[in-house]
Structure 1
Amino acid sequence: MTASYRTLGDFFSQPCTPTPVQRPQLIAFNQALAETLQLPAEFLAEETALTLFAGNTVYSEFAPFCQAYAGHQFGHFNPRLGDGRALTILETLDQQGVLRDVQLKGAGRTPFSRGGDGRSPLGPVLREFIMCEAMHALGVPTTRALAAIATGEYVQRERAEPGAVLTRVASSHIRVGSFQFAAAHGGPEQVKLLADYVIARHYPECAAQPQPYLGLLEAVIARQATLVAQWMSFGFIHGVMNTDNTSICGETIDYGPCAMLDSYQPEQFYSFIDKRGRYRYSQQPRIAQWNLARFAECLAPLMPTTKAADDISAALEHFTTLYEKAWLERFSAKLGIVQPTPFDRELINQVLVHFQQQQIDFTLGFRALADSAEPASSANEFAPEQRLPSALRQQWLDRLARQQEDFSVTAARMNTVNPVVIPRNHHLQAVIQVAQAEGDLRPFHYLLRAATQPFNSEQKNSPWAKAPKAEQEISNTFCGT
């Protein structure tokens, strides 16, 4: 069985107890996820879950802790960050025998709070709950939302806002920044200790390799390349791709000011704190590779000195190959292409250029293509001027015809990778505003239900599937710290 993260010692984490709240009230509880985690039966009772996931009680058999890490934030290195408003209250084996972290976010001050209050407003909790469950439903590796609890207290940001606590679950919360902290404050010895732990927990196949730490680097690179390609295929913009938000196990973590594209604009970014668009949609692959280079710098002292530079350079260059392959596979699938070739990249790019020029909604644009796959059909969800130009449409249909399958089969397959509903920015803001101003959580639950059935064709005419009108478009998103 994988050992607890706490076995690494106080260098990597500190004991920490959540701060109780005044009037906890259950907002949402993910019963299905709880059952996969094989939590003790008493945790599934509402009263117990309410106090445990609010931070008002501590599971007697586990000592909560918060993790230390560093990180490059918007390109600038901060040697000491850590869980400033998060702490792990449980580590549990799920039904597959995988050790999972159960963490409270917004549960009060920790040794790494750096003067902050350690709390979270209600808005970011609702946003992250919906976003991570929607991403899971889309098939994207992600942290999961187990519970959301209103605290009955206010937190002060630009104004006083209702507070809440999120319980999230991850394969682990180890980040590139965890290795940066080890390298900056402990040197190769602590980096090796952490690397050996990560190999044992996440990449056991690397232990038997001639160069296990190079193997670890290559494995993390492969997962990140696939993950970012998935982000791109759904129009997801992380918003804060700092190294401390880059998961070693290849999951989407720390949603903060994330957003989904509406109309296809590759230079789009929404995060209020990303003043120059460092983490805009089109930059995400390059930033992921940059973050992985920082990870490689930490591991370099553990590799044979004669080959380390060449091996690391080759591994980082391979990120581009892996990412482009994953991107081609994902976007080809969105167009109904089963076995893509490099020549299909040009077709995909032509479609994306058309989407950009005509400001076509990224999600609905791809979904509508399945409705128009039948050569004799004129079905299309867009106005005539927004449809694929006839020459481009014919090129696409000719490519599909070479697969020698019925177009209805192609269309059905496309509908399994092109969602109807995504958690759109304007919908998220609307449900958050209603929850904050009126205490009405019904719209939150409606959107959560819709976003966790993203491919359900019955939602085609749902309000949650609609692109925003011009006056509904959101220009900024916020993380709530």
Structure 2
Amino acid sequence: MDTHKGWNLQQSYTKLPDAFYTKANPSEVEKPELVLFNEALADELGLSTKPDPAIFGGNVVPEGAEPIAQAYAGHQFGQFTMLGDGRAVLLGEQVASEGERYDIQLKGSGRTPFSRGGDGRATLGPMLREYIISEAMHGLGIPTNRSLAVVTSGEYVQREDLLPGAVLTRVASSHLRIGTFQYAAGLQDYDKLKALADYTIERHAPELVDSEQPYLSFFEKVIERQAYLIAQWQLVGFIHGVMNTDNMTISGETIDYGPCAFMDTYNPKTVFSSIDRQGRYAYVNQPPIGAWNLARFAETLLPLFHEDQEKAVEMAQEAHAKYEKSYHSYWLKGMRSKLGMTTEEAQDQPLIEDLLEMMEKNEADYTNTFRALTLGRPNETAMYGKPAFTNWYKQWQARLERQESSEADVRELMKRTNPSIIPRNHRVEEALDAAVEEGDFSVAKQLLAVLADPYAYSEDQEVYAELPEPSAQPYRTFCGT
């Protein structure tokens, strides 16, 4: 049997100047064993659903692949650094049946010229986390890279302890980042910057190729995508944890699930990442950090906006100013839907903010509060019986009565926008512990199955909506590098 059946790989990135990448083959692993495989995604990509672990472990390069490591830079916690794929290789782009291109990247595939002293490997726990969370995000309908496979390597990787190694196969519309453009700007070569911008527009915004101001229009499109993405994060209580510019994609997809997690108790200052000691990337800071990152992106594009620096800055500032309004519009529209509002009224935002304020004060669970309201069970919220909540609930019901939508339509809208379940931190840890400590992947597979349709409100999801036992210690996540 042809183990490469279904691969239709091309590598368009190598059409760029070679300053943007270096050729880098994945390093072989001792004993590749497939432990998770996304058959539904494989089918979408036109791949065989009978996978070869040797390919996903990096031991065999599929036909048509041209493995490279991409160069990029980034502001990491505000500090600028030259970077690149230090433990990942891009095999190429799988061209699906309708002509769509999807980057196929192996993560944890060994050292590259950008490894900066690292071993280029990944451990099983973080690769499983990325698989679970990225697929959960896809189920939630939030733009994201996807996970195709996890292969254990049969080797151990030295971190604080010896841990089982793994390779993740990541799928994205591309791995172009704000940091890629920062790298290009750092080359101080107009032609290289223009080549990157032209390539990116052709790939992610082909309708702009012949526009009057293609680079400015491109910047505005990226602003819109980022505004939408971050609003979707906020609406489900997702905290990325490491919003460095090298982790923000041009496509507007969520990428690099390192110290990410979902919020349980509603607290805008929530931070999970062990390395975010100042709270730079706290939940409440994600929207303004989005604006900060886009300002850095704008700086890289100035030479393309206008030859007059002053005029270029003016154009960038005018476009950048649209972010806040766009983000707020997406957020408010989403919050209205979460509360079943099908029309717009001036007092909607104060009503929403009053609810969030009560949730914070009463340490209410974010997801389950909206779940309870969706199911018509206000008694299951942490605020039930409090005079302020009773008054708010009456105002909300009166607001819903002022619109023509039926109660059934309102309930349906709320079910479509309020997930019944999220990848609860304790459930994710349970799955990771079973896999890493006991070699048992059934817990992760069951979790993935229920997360595939988080809006189902099915009986088998009930147990996954339960809150963790109270803990004196705050939940912490780690980068995994």
Report the CA distance shift for 1:236/1:459 in structure 2 as closer, same or farther (over 3 A). farther
Partner secondary structure for residue 462 of structure 1 = helix
Match in the other structure for 2:24: 16
- Please show how residues 408-427 of structure 1 align to structure 2 within 5 Å: 408-427=408-427
The partner residue of 2:35 within 10, 27, 30 is 27
Contact 1:222 1:322 survives alignment (8 Å) = yes
The partner residue of 2:359 within 345, 349, 355 is 355
- Scaled by the length of structure 2, the TM-score of the pair is 0.94
Contact 2:111 2:118 survives alignment (8 Å) = yes
The partner residue of 2:50 within 20, 36, 45 is 45
AA aligned to 2:456 is N
Segments of structure 2 that go 5 or more residues without pairing to the other structure are 1-8
The partner residue of 1:343 within 329, 347, 358 is 347
Q: Structure 1 residue 388: deviation in Å?
A: 6.8
Taking only aligned residues, the RMSD between alpha carbons, in angstroms, comes to: 1.8
Q: Structure 1 residue 385: deviation in Å?
A: 4.2
Deviations 1:323-371 (A, max 9, x none): 0000001111100111334431111111110110111110010111122
Segments of structure 1 that go 5 or more residues without pairing to the other structure are none
Q: Structure 1 residue 24: deviation in Å?
A: 1.3
Q: 2:165 & 2:365 partners in 1: Cα distance? A: 34
Q: 2:383 & 2:161 partners in 1: Cα distance? A: 43
Report the CA distance shift for 1:166/1:137 in structure 2 as closer, same or farther (over 3 A). same
Q: 2:474 & 2:58 partners in 1: Cα distance? A: 33
Q: 2:478 & 2:91 partners in 1: Cα distance? A: 26
Report the CA distance shift for 1:10/1:342 in structure 2 as closer, same or farther (over 3 A). farther
- Please show how residues 374-393 of structure 1 align to structure 2 within 5 Å: 380=380, 382=382, 384-385=384-385, 389-393=389-393
1:329 aligns with 2:333: yes
Q: 1:72 & 1:58 partners in 2: Cα distance? A: 33
The partner residue of 2:80 within 70, 73, 77 is 77
Match in the other structure for 1:432: 432
Deviations 1:286-343 (A, max 9, x none): 0011001111000001112253122111111100010000000111110011133443
Partner secondary structure for residue 389 of structure 1 = helix
Match in the other structure for 1:157: 159
Q: 2:295 & 2:429 partners in 1: Cα distance? A: 35
Q: 2:345 & 2:231 partners in 1: Cα distance? A: 17
AA aligned to 2:50 is A
Report how many aligned residue pairs link the two structures: 471
Deviations 1:56-94 (A, max 9, x none): 10113221111000000000000x210111111131122
Match in the other structure for 1:466: 466
Q: Structure 1 residue 459: deviation in Å?
A: 4.0
Q: 2:361 & 2:179 partners in 1: Cα distance? A: 39
- Please show how residues 242-391 of structure 1 align to structure 2 within 5 Å: 242-304=244-306, 305=308, 307-372=311-376, 380=380, 382=382, 384-385=384-385, 389-391=389-391
Q: 2:117 & 2:10 partners in 1: Cα distance? A: 34
Q: 2:32 & 2:203 partners in 1: Cα distance? A: 34
Contact 1:2 1:201 survives alignment (8 Å) = no
AA aligned to 2:22 is Q
AA aligned to 1:405 is S
Match in the other structure for 1:66: 69
Match in the other structure for 1:36: 44
Q: 2:256 & 2:340 partners in 1: Cα distance? A: 32
Report the CA distance shift for 1:192/1:387 in structure 2 as closer, same or farther (over 3 A). farther
Contact 2:450 2:460 survives alignment (8 Å) = no
Partner secondary structure for residue 351 of structure 1 = helix
Report the CA distance shift for 1:134/1:318 in structure 2 as closer, same or farther (over 3 A). same
Contact 2:154 2:164 survives alignment (8 Å) = yes
Q: Structure 1 residue 383: deviation in Å?
A: 7.2
AA aligned to 1:34 is A
Partner secondary structure for residue 102 of structure 1 = strand
AA aligned to 2:44 is T
Deviations 1:177-234 (A, max 9, x none): 0001111124322111100000100011222221111111101000000000000000
Q: 2:96 & 2:349 partners in 1: Cα distance? A: 40
1:54 aligns with 2:90: no
Report the CA distance shift for 1:383/1:396 in structure 2 as closer, same or farther (over 3 A). closer
Partner secondary structure for residue 114 of structure 1 = coil
Match in the other structure for 2:4: none
Partner secondary structure for residue 280 of structure 2 = coil
Deviating above 4 A after TM superposition, structure 1's stretches of 4 or more consecutive aligned residues are 385-388
